[in-house]
Amino acid sequence: MDIHPYLEFVPRALARTAFLTVTSLAIGLVLGLLLGLARVGPVKFLRRAATVYVEVVRGIPLFVLILYIYYGLGSFIGQFWVASPYIYATSAFGLCYAAYIAEIFRAGFQSLDRGQTEAARALGLSRRQAMRHVLLPQAFRNILPALGNEGVALLKDTSLASVVTIAELTQSGKAYASLSYRFFEVWTVVALCYLALTIPLTWGVRKLEARLGVRSAPHTA
Amino acid sequence: MSAAPLIRLKGLRKSLGGKEILRGIDLDVARGEVLCVIGPSGSGKSTLVRCINFLEIPDQGTVEFDGAVVHPDESLDQHRARVGMVFQRFNLFPHLSVLDNLTLAPTQVLGLSPDQAASRARSLLDRVGLADRERSFPAEMSGGQQQRVAIARALAMQPQVMLFDEVTSALDPELVGEVLAVMKGLAREGMTMLVVTHQMKFAREVGHRVVFLEGGVVAEEGKPEDVLERPKSGRLKEFLGHFS
Ligand SMILES: Nc1ncnc2c1ncn2[C@@H]1O[C@H](COP(=O)(O)OP(=O)(O)OP(=O)(O)O)[C@@H](O)[C@H]1O
Ligand SMILES: [Mg+2]
């Protein structure tokens, strides 16, 4: 096995996959949290809007969403702004994962004991303060494993960015395989590269979980 | 008792799930008074307490505090900050240490500095006999200890009145005493208290007045010795019979 070509493209491709994952996940988490808050919030219009968003986005295959945003919306936007394919890809991933993450946050908030909100409000905390200091930290701790799963799923889904010409791991592998005809070798390397990203991610989430959960495990009164 | 009452409830009505739970409550709580509320399950005791700090918004009637009507659409957070509440199931914040449970609201709501809030919290923990537990988490404590922390957490806001809703009902019998002792101490210091309880001995010894709630109305009220030992209505006699 000649490792030189791999040294050429693998580090760059790995970095692109990691970059796509981190930026998309950031968008997905922020937007997902906002949508999740809207879904459990007091404003009926926002509740409805968030529900519609989640249902619509979850009903569309991610592959189609990417094509739709890149080729569909891209053909309009491209008339006055030439955006990088990364913009289209991270938007598509972020918008899609926001819908799933919103559902996770919603379930996280709804699974909390009502007594927590009541105790916070009874002390004079505003709705917002109660959310920020009492509900969100507890919900976050509870949903961390689920968020970790989304992170891993998103990382693997970034392989779809190959359709918008980004030379991330999968796209680079495809290019080199068709050049070298060493299919088994190339895809073995690509698969190992994905594992090299997913395993530390999973491990990191577990560590964080353990750190947040050790002493403050919810009691059953 | 001659001055205006600290709390005055007028014609309070509240329905929950299509059923009228409170059916016209008129009740005063004087400054420094310990008012005990007794009554069968479902008579509306919790609902009454929760209407006073507007965890439930009354359908009809008014809550006056210190002579002024509290309007549910404004300044509720301010109102709640001066009314302390302790729950049957403690409801401590499990993700926060004991100290942080006590400092959260004073820093966020009253704007105390972290140092001010911490020193206030420490003296309260001392008062409830848990000075050495400020770094513990709720899950590491017994029910009785948790409930004492919950009392201290409410007191950290320096409320003008404390509401207790069956705060010993979720405790093992051997832990009830330590919580009642803290409440007794509070009463002795002149705290205004509204105590929903099934502890008749506590009502008899500590209460200044006892109210018997039945079917969402005040069915009987008076001095503890009168209400508890010379009940007028058959219902109250029957209810008290369960405790002897
Ligand atoms: N959110 C709700 N929706 C519907 N019904 C409710 C709700 N909350 C309470 N109730 C009902 O209202 C009635 C009175 O409730 P409340 O909790 O005030 O009684 P209580 O006197 O405190 O009883 P207990 O001694 O069991 O605590 C009960 O029958 C209860 O089932
Ligand atoms: Mg009750």
Is residue A200, in this structure, part of any structural domain at all? yes
Predicted confidence band of residue B12 (pLDDT cuts 50, 70, 90): very high
Is residue A146, in this structure, part of any structural domain at all? yes
Q: How far is A142 from chain B (nearest CA, A)?
A: 11
Q: Is A217 at the interface with chain B, CB within 8 A?
A: yes
Mean pLDDT over the full length of chain B: 95
For chain B, percent of residues with pLDDT exceeding 70: 99
**pLDDT, greater one: B216 or B4:** B216
CB B78 within 8 A of CB A124: yes
Q: Compute, in angstroms, the gap from residue B167 CA to the centroid of ligand 2.
A: 10
As for the ipTM of the complex, it is 0.94
For residue B37, the cross-strand partners are: B196, B211
pLDDT over 70 at B241, yes or no: yes
Is residue A221, in this structure, part of any structural domain at all? no
Q: What is the pLDDT of residues B69-106, one digit of tens each?
A: 999 887 899 999 999 999 999 999 999 999 999 999 99
Is residue A94, in this structure, part of any structural domain at all? yes
For residue B85, the cross-strand partners are: B163
pLDDT of residue B1: 46
In eight-state DSSP terms, residue B163 is E
> Which chain B residues touch A if contact means CB-CB below 8 Å?
53, 55, 77-78, 80-81, 83-85, 87, 89-96, 104-105, 108-109, 137-140, 143, 146, 150, 153-154, 157, 170
Q: How many domains does chain A have?
A: 1
Mutation site for B-interface testing, chosen from A123, A144, A209 by largest number of B Cβ within 10 Å: A123
Q: Is A111 at the interface with chain B, CB within 8 A?
A: no
The structure's pTM equals 0.91
Is residue A135, in this structure, part of any structural domain at all? yes
* Over residues B45-60, mean pLDDT: 96
pLDDT of residue B73: 83
CB B40 within 8 A of CB B239: yes
Is residue A218, in this structure, part of any structural domain at all? no
- Provide residues with CB under 6 Å of ligand 1: B 16-17, 21, 39, 41-47, 166
Is residue A37, in this structure, part of any structural domain at all? yes
Q: Would residue B242 be called left, alpha or beta, if left means φ above 0 and alpha means ψ between -120 and 50 degrees?
A: alpha
Is residue A27, in this structure, part of any structural domain at all? yes
Which residue range is the domain that position A175 belongs to? 4-212
The tens-digit pLDDT sequence of chain A (221 residues) is 788 888 889 999 999 999 999 999 999 999 999 999 999 999 999 999 999 999 999 999 999 999 999 999 988 988 888 889 999 999 999 999 999 999 999 999 999 999 999 999 999 999 999 999 999 999 999 999 999 999 999 999 999 999 999 999 999 999 999 999 999 999 999 999 999 999 999 999 999 998 887 566 554 33
| CA-closest candidate to residue B46, choices B164, B128, B129, B146 | B164
pLDDT of residue B211: 97
> Helix count (H) and strand count (E) of chain A?
10, 0
For residue A180, the cross-strand partners are: none
For chain B, percent of residues with pLDDT exceeding 90: 95
CB B102 within 8 A of CB B156: yes
Give backbone dihedrals phi and psi of B195, rounded to 5 degrees, phi first: -120, 110
In eight-state DSSP terms, residue A81 is -
CA pair distance A122, A111, nearest whole angstrom:
20
B210 residue type, one letter = V
pLDDT over 50 at B233, yes or no: yes
CB pairs under 8 A between A and B: 81
Predicted confidence band of residue B202 (pLDDT cuts 50, 70, 90): very high
Query: CATH number, domain at A138?
Result: 1.10.3720.10
Question: Which ligand 1 atom lies nearest to the CA of residue B47?
Answer: 18
Other C-beta atoms lying within 10 Å of the C-beta of residue A34: 16
Q: CA nearest B52 in A: which residue?
A: A122
